[in-house]
Amino acid sequence: MVKTLILGAAGQIARVTTDLFLETTNLQLVLYARNAASRLKPYANEPRVSLVDGDVTDGVKLEAAMAGVDGVYANLSGDMVEQARTIINAMHNAKVKRLIFVSSMGIYDEVPGQRYSGILDPYRDSALAIEASDLDYTIIRPEWLNDLDEIAYGTTRKGEPFKNPQAYVSRKSVADLIVKCTTVPGFGIGESLGVHKV
């Protein structure tokens, strides 16, 4: 890959991931967020980064931001179902296939002994929309998060019980998985990966 589009780029995981991309890869990055110029100011003078101010539900702007990118990484909140549908549409129109989409643990009732209420519906429904698409997707389902400067994680696949769900995994660990999914050909395609602390 040469260029990646990051949606929800002002979010906490996305910022850690952006830093890891810049430290460990040669990728060009397109950072897409509302009020991007003010919220992503630290990246404004980075030569490998371009900033796009936009809402993910604006399909025209989103499709334009996808011009020339090899893949999309989305880390969103809000109306995730509408956002997922807009992303799928824009990717089809822009002829981009690779999508990495961050969701949440618990969307498949995969956490032993836990039943999550409707709070996870947007995460579950957006993941289902992506799984039903013909994109080369990876859904990432992290557990509770912390800001430790460490990479220490394991993964489970859809249909497997979530491991160590009471623990906290670092945002840097999630970022490492996103970088792997982006840079290692074929890694994680068609999979939904739970991410837990080890």
Q: Is pTM, for the whole model, over 0.85?
A: yes
Residues 100, 33 contacting (CB under 8 angstroms) = no
Tens digit of pLDDT for each residue in 111-142?
977 776 678 999 999 999 999 999 999 999 99
For the segment 29-87, what is each residue's pLDDT rounded down to a tens digit? 999 999 999 999 999 999 999 999 999 999 999 999 999 999 999 999 999 999 999 99
Q: Distance of alpha carbon 150 from its chain centroid, rounded?
A: 19
Helix, strand, coil % in the chain, rounded to nearest 5 = 35, 25, 40
Domain 3-197 has CATH 3.40.50.620: no
Tokens found for residue 181: 């999914």
**Helix (H) / strand (E) containing 93:** helix 80-94
- Specify whether the backbone of 191 is left (phi greater than 0), alpha (psi in -120 to 50) or beta: beta
Q: Where are the domains of the chain?
A: 3-197
